[in-house]
Chain A
Amino acid sequence: MPRLLATLATLRGDPRLLKLPPYLSLSCIVVGVVWLLLLPLDEFSRRTYISENALLPGQVNTYFGGSDRNVFQAYRHEIDALAEKTNYEINDELENILRGIGLKVGRQNYTYHSAGHTYAGENAYAILHAPRGDATEAIVLVTAWKNVKNEFNRNGVALGLALARYFKRWSLWSKDIILVVTPDSRAGIQAWVDAYHDTHDSSRVASLPIKSGLLQGAVAIDYPHREGGFDGVHVVYDGVNGQLPNLDLINSVSYIANGQMGLHSFIQERFQHSDKYDDRLRTMLRGMMNQGLGHAVGAHSSFIPYHVDAVTLQPVGNGWHDEMGFGRLVESAFRSLNNLLEHLHQSFFFYLLMHKDRFVSIGTYLPSAMLIAVNFTIMAILMWVKSGSGEGASQPTVSTIVTGKGTVEEKKEVVTATPSTPTTPERDIYLPLGIVIACHFLGALPLFIFNHTPSHLLAPIFLVFSIFNITLPPFISSLANLTPANGLTLQHFYVLKCFSLLLLGMFLSSLATLNFSLAFLVGLVSSPLSFTSPWPSNTTVRYAYAALLNILSPPAVILAGVAAYAHYGASGTTLLGALEHVLREAAFGWDVWGLYIPVVVCLGRYGLEVWLPDLTYFGLGLDEESLGQTLYLTFYDLDAEEEDQIYHSPPDSRGKLVLQMLDVLMLHPRFPIVWN
């Protein structure tokens, strides 16, 4: 034992020990990424199964059909006649139809303002009272007038009406059934769900005149006009802010479609799935991208933050199934939900799906994001040790320690000189702490600007902002170099970097438990910052560094995303048009859905962009990463708090602190994934 302690003591003073953390950190990142790539293998993923026995999916006979076809066609005829009418005229007619069926009808107005646009409309909804129930529980059928792609949901609305009429005939419902018809799939349904839970801002969204009980589940039908029949169903499940519905719900729908209906089922828009490694990986990554972006991908998305499990169903492919078949699928899903005795809770809420019946649960995938977060913590510890080793503690300023070579020599000197009695100099932590906090709050500036700008100015302002970001740091640093008496020592920078990395690691690891994909993606993008070395003296290398930092900066990433979107997603639009669109979507997500992801991304990214180069150009021998981290942290930190709130409170109650740049990227529903 004493020998071991002695060995450890010598090891502690060993300068080689200080060289170890960067390699450890790098291996964490590599292992984390490899871990993620291993997930699609059979050994790491599991087959899905239905955990809640009460669901009994596909075990009932479905009777929707026969004369209901005539009813459906009659409703569709009525709906077609309304296609060009205004929202209020449509709702008047819908109210007549629904009252005729014998349902209680309510209507609700809402008005949202975002990026200079007004999103207003009126929702119509009807409650079918459970024949023997007493309004304690309800399930929701959503048929938005327009789907997320803004297509007229012609069959969907008619099917909703026909199903409501058909459901009314049965006495077996144990829960109320609510049919909601919203004018769009984005703002209207959010207004309805908020008002149902009394968390709406009553100046923008009206209260609901009639209500039912606890919502136990929701199914949205997205069935625009299409030629011919279909042979598969696309299950869309991502919720706002990357929250997911209970896996049992998705599995039940898949199970009903595959088993009872003889339909294929698909997820994440992978309509050709070989169930081989590459398809699984693509499906999983696409799911991660949707989760990371956190935007609403269907009318169901707004339900999920309220812990109401919901999916959107879309018909796909060409086959012999018609609208009645789709109705039977919904009927069977409703019968399953109706069977539920308890709120869905048995199965997973945190999972990555890679095939309709293959998934990994949080226990398996979480380590990859955690390892990436750990790399920052390791570097933070290293920085703390370095700052305490005396290195650079009393070095006055810039000019003396600028070169990396000098630093290394010094380090050696210090270490060898004091192996047994290491002198731990006083660390001045207030200045670095102040810088970290200031960076955090700076993020509010771009958030405010981009959320209060009319949409036609968004793209120009963004470009101005980007140019400003690139040019300002060198300008400031050259200015700063003119004033030599700036009292910053190398130790300050170590401590600064330490705090930044520590916070980054902490926030990323807590974020990983809430939104794995976002934490993973952000961690990956910011990982190079851990390894930037002190400012190189070589001019070429220096400018290469600056360029790299700019490429990793949020505006650059957003621009790249927008370019990809303009190219793949919305061909024909100009880059500027796409940029404006994406930024407007981001503002919409912020104003209506209460996305927090933009906050994380934009704030951190902007701060990084503006300040990181700035400080690097100071020529103080500062590691640029520390500042970058600071900024990253800034937004992460906000993010984590936000998230916590978001998880437990409705979207509107969170403080609007931050920017929304990246979220912009993520917001757009059609944002194409690079690997797609």
Chain B
Amino acid sequence: MRSFLSYLIPLLFLVFDVFASDYHEQLNLKPLPQSSLLASFNFRSNTTLTQFAAHNFRYFPRSLGQILQHVGTRELHLRFSLGRWDAESWGARPWDGTKEGGTGVELWAWLEADTEEEADHKWLTLTNALSGLFCASLNFIDETRTTRPVMSFRPEGDHGPAIDRMHLLHGVLPHEIVCTENLTPFLKLLPCKGKAGISSLLDGHKLFDATWQSMAIDIRPLCPPGQECVLQIEQTIDMVLDIERSKRPRAGEEWSLDQLFGKYLKGTCPLTDPDVPPVCIQVPERRDIFSTGGAVEIKNPNGLSRCYQISPERDFSMILPRMPRDGDNPKTTADEHVQPGTPLLYAERSFTGHGQERGGVQSILTNPSPDTEVEFVYMESLPWFMRVYLHTLKARVEGTSGAKDDLIEEIYYRPALDRARGTQLELRMRVPPASTVFLTYDFEKSVLRYTEYPPDANRGFDVAASIITILPSTSPNAPPTLQKTSNLRTTSLLLSLPTPDFSMPYNVIIFTSTAIALAFGGLYNILVRRFVGADEGPEEVGGLRGKIALLVAKLKSVTKGKVD
């Protein structure tokens, strides 16, 4: 826990500084067990609300700012995530999990609107605009994927009285695959656009080869006491690199920044706050690190992290050599990386049962702490074709402490409507110390209309991750990590629905079309034609002769008429 705190210390330190400067960026590296490396990129810029209202965006990206102004967005959070955080090996999540989303794309925003309809309308505009900006299918967040969470999310910014008119909308696209086309617009929002500073390390090949990766954009208004209110945009990229894989084809335990990211850090971004060291690494004091020339090492007094001030003009890299296990100065594994902190809660979710008719969901929530209870909100937003039987919802506890019946304290349930909206289930519950709660419920699988299946129907349907919001503890002697809200997401699930053989509808269509063509064609032919005997019809002779004959006949009839 302490180590994790220390990880946050430089950041806390920066919070004081945040409002002084308009832009700052920092890269935090943290070697993890099993030869992994967590790299957290953080970019933050501020614009005062008055200037923002006057369209003077300064470091705030104009493209995004205009969208926000257009749809009256007060606060916005956008997440692109890939892979899974291995809490068992890597411990607690970076940023307490508040800067990550479920697999795919996740978006939630507080919109200013007078009615729900207006909010829905603005939400539609927002998703469509963001979809274009970030090259993601955000426009597929329709009403069936939109929820209005009640307990899980709280605004992070200072909104003042406007909070009464704000509507929270939340949407997830679990099947969206995050890739380079999402990174490029993300980098373009930065003042240095990936050309200088820590963002010059970001490269699609390395970022998307990461074992776990999350890109986040948070926009919120902040009103520091005694200062003008600012609109803050914070962009974060967290990634866990497999060191061995990233530095391939080179082998060995030694690694350097340029090997892992494929390039050097190109100086500093000239716009950044010069007081903030751009690169920090969390390693024990005894770990040897060599950096390129021009960089100044600043050791944190707690001995668990050090930062580097680097030259604005020169390329920067650092090398972490192999630790000698014997010799004059033998090192141990404990010297290699800081022991990761224990997470507050482990969550795992899977399907139970088999077959195409019904199934079940089981979430296993484990509280590893020996003495502290964890209280949280568990939120599921399920697609409408998963018909949840709420009466089967059960929470069972296993652990050392005595079983308690009141695990679930509050339930908010909004049932699904077929083809209109999904199920929203929010549970406020708690897990006693050192115990595991099994949360299970059953559901029925709907049969879709055949046009409702996607082209890859046999793959199954993605079910979004459930979102766990750990509520701050009310007790005064709770550990510091429990003093504030933290988040956690399970993995997404793949639901297989009964899928028809799609050649069948087409066979039927082709067959009926043929039958109709034959029957209808024949019938129509009979109905619209007049049948006359061959000898009754006018004798038709083709060509010039025919025309002349026709003319003669006409003339004859005319003259006949005159005679009559």
Contact = CB atoms under 8 A, between A and B. Distances in A.
Interface string B437-457: 000000000000000000011
Contacts of A648: 355-357
A131 B462 contact: no
Contacts of B84: 129, 133-135
Interface in A113-159: 129, 131-137
Contacts of B103: 134
A429 to B, nearest CB: 36
B216 to A, nearest CB: 17
A211 interface: yes
Nearest to A197: B354
A198 interface: yes
Contacts of A102: 34
Nearest to A196: B354
B458 interface: yes
B208 A342 contact: no
A132 B491 contact: no
B518 to A, nearest CB: 25
A169 B82 CA distance: 19
Given A102-B34, A129-B86, A169-B244, A136 B354 contact: no
Contacts of B209: 131-132, 171
B210 A132 contact: yes
Interface string B349-376: 0111111110010100000000000000
Given A132-B210, A135-B84, A341-B456, A649 B493 contact: no
Contacts of B348: 210
Contacts of B456: 341-342
Contact residues of A: prevailing secondary structure: loop
B499 interface: yes
A467 B328 CA distance: 87
Interface string B522-559: 00000000000000000000000000000000000000
Nearest to A199: B354
**Most A Cβ at <10 Å: residue of B84, B242, B459:** B459
Nearest to B246: A171
A214 B350 contact: no
Interface string A202-216: 000000001101100
Contacts of B360: 198
Contact of B494 (A136, A210, A307): A136
A211 B363 CA distance: 12
A137 B175 CA distance: 13
B496 interface: yes
B88 interface: yes
Nearest to B82: A132
Interface string B319-343: 0000000000000000000000000
A169 B103 CA distance: 23
B353 A198 contact: yes
A436 B244 CA distance: 71
Interface residues of A, number: 28
A132 B83 contact: yes
Contacts of B353: 197-199
B492 interface: yes
B211 interface: yes
A343 interface: yes
Contacts of B492: 134, 136
Nearest to B104: A134
B352 A136 contact: no
B354 A650 contact: yes
Contacts of B433: none
Contacts of B351: 214
B460 interface: yes
A211 B364 CA distance: 11
Contacts, number: 77
B352 A198 contact: yes
Contacts of B148: none
Contact of A342 (B352, B355, B457, B491): B457
A345 interface: yes
A51 B352 CA distance: 31
Nearest to B495: A214
A132 B492 CA distance: 13
Given A133-B83, A197-B354, A214 B245 contact: no
Contacts of A134: 82-84, 103, 491-492
A345 B82 contact: no
Contacts of A650: 354
A213 B492 CA distance: 9
A82 B86 CA distance: 31
A107 B498 CA distance: 32
B245 A171 contact: yes
B350 A211 contact: yes
A645 to B, nearest CB: 11
A199 B360 CA distance: 12
A306 B354 contact: yes
B347 to A, nearest CB: 12
**Most B Cβ at <10 Å: residue of A197, A198, A199:** A198
Interface string A332-352: 000000000111010000000
A656 interface: no
Contacts of A137: 494
B234 to A, nearest CB: 25
A270 interface: no
Contacts of A132: 82-83, 208-211, 213
B458 to A, nearest CB: 4
A104 interface: yes
A650 B492 CA distance: 25
B352 to A, nearest CB: 4
Contacts of B208: 132
Interface in B476-523: 491-494, 496, 499
B456 to A, nearest CB: 5
B358 to A, nearest CB: 11
Interface string A310-354: 000000000000000000000000000000011101000000000
Interface in B289-318: none
A132 B84 CA distance: 7
Contacts of A133: 83-84
A300 B485 CA distance: 47
A63 to B, nearest CB: 12
Nearest to A52: B458
Interface string B76-113: 00000011101010000000000000010000000000
A132 B204 CA distance: 14
Contact of B460 (A129, A135, A343): A343
Contacts of B458: 342-343, 345
Contacts of A214: 351, 460, 494, 496
Contacts of A169: 244-245
A102 B211 CA distance: 13
Contact of B245 (A131, A135, A342, A343): A131
Contacts of A307: 354
Contacts of B210: 132
Interface in B179-238: 208-211, 213
Contact of B459 (A197, A343, A649): A343
A104 B89 CA distance: 10
Contacts of A129: 84, 86, 211
24 contacts: A132-B82, A133-B83, A134-B82, A134-B103, A136-B462, A136-B491, A169-B244, A171-B209, A197-B352, A197-B353, A198-B353, A198-B354, A199-B353, A199-B354, A214-B351, A214-B460, A214-B494, A214-B496, A341-B456, A341-B459, A342-B458, A343-B496, A648-B356, A649-B355
Interface of B: 34, 82-84, 86, 88, 103, 208-211, 213, 242, 244-245, 348, 350-357, 360, 362, 456-460, 462, 491-494, 496, 499
The 4 closest A-B pairs by CB, nearest first: A342-B458, A198-B352, A136-B494, A342-B459
Given A102-B34, A135-B491, A343-B496, 16 more contacts: A129-B211, A132-B82, A132-B83, A132-B208, A134-B492, A136-B460, A171-B242, A171-B245, A197-B353, A198-B353, A198-B362, A210-B348, A214-B494, A342-B457, A342-B459, A649-B355
